[in-house]
Amino acid sequence: MNVNSTLIEAHIFRKHENTIEFLLLKRAPNEIYPGIWQMVTGHTKYPDEKLYQTAIREIEEETGLKPERFWVVPNVNSFYSPETNEIIMIPVFAALVNENARIKISEEHIEYKWVSMEEAKMLLAWGGQKKSIDSIYEYFLLKQDYLKLLEIGL
């Protein structure tokens, strides 16, 4: 069995008043997992593309946004693919964008919305994604001293 790591998960958030809000995207009917709410996801396109570069590229492709700051989240999601008999490892990233940034969603999605941590956890389908929301919320509101250790310079 192989372990594969070509997928990413990127959570976009903005500071709003004294908290943070997460951007969720609703999958188009013609896409895999139609109608579910998700963060930015994607896979590498180029052999030498680093996974953090994939995340930044996918954020721009799916939302038209450019992160102001960017971090690796200290957890990795995973799942087993019976089709390929692989364990898929998914690094998680967090991107801060300007509160007034204009969003332009791609054809992969039909809708977007900014939500609270609680609403994000209700709308996301998988436990690992909900855990990522908890981690991001905790680090950005409670453990800000650690952020410099996890930040990837743009």
Global pTM reads 0.91
Residues counted in the chain: 154
Where on the phi/psi map is residue 81: left (φ > 0), alpha (ψ -120 to 50), or beta?
Answer: beta
Closest to 69 measured CA to CA, from 52, 81, 86, 82: 52
- d(CA 22, CA 38) in angstroms, rounded, equals 10
Number of domains into which the chain is organized:
1
**Spatial CA neighbour of 1 closest among 107, 80, 74:** 80
Q: What is the pLDDT of residues 39-96, one digit of tens each?
A: 999 999 999 999 999 999 999 999 999 999 999 998 899 988 898 898 889 999 999 9
Q: Which domain holds residue 144?
A: 2-150
Round to the nearest angstrom and report the end-to-end CA distance of the chain.
35
pLDDT, tens only, 96-121? 999 999 999 999 999 999 999 999 99
The strand pair at 69-81 and 40-43 is best described as unpaired
Res 1: pLDDT: 58
- 116 with 21: CB under 8 angstroms? yes
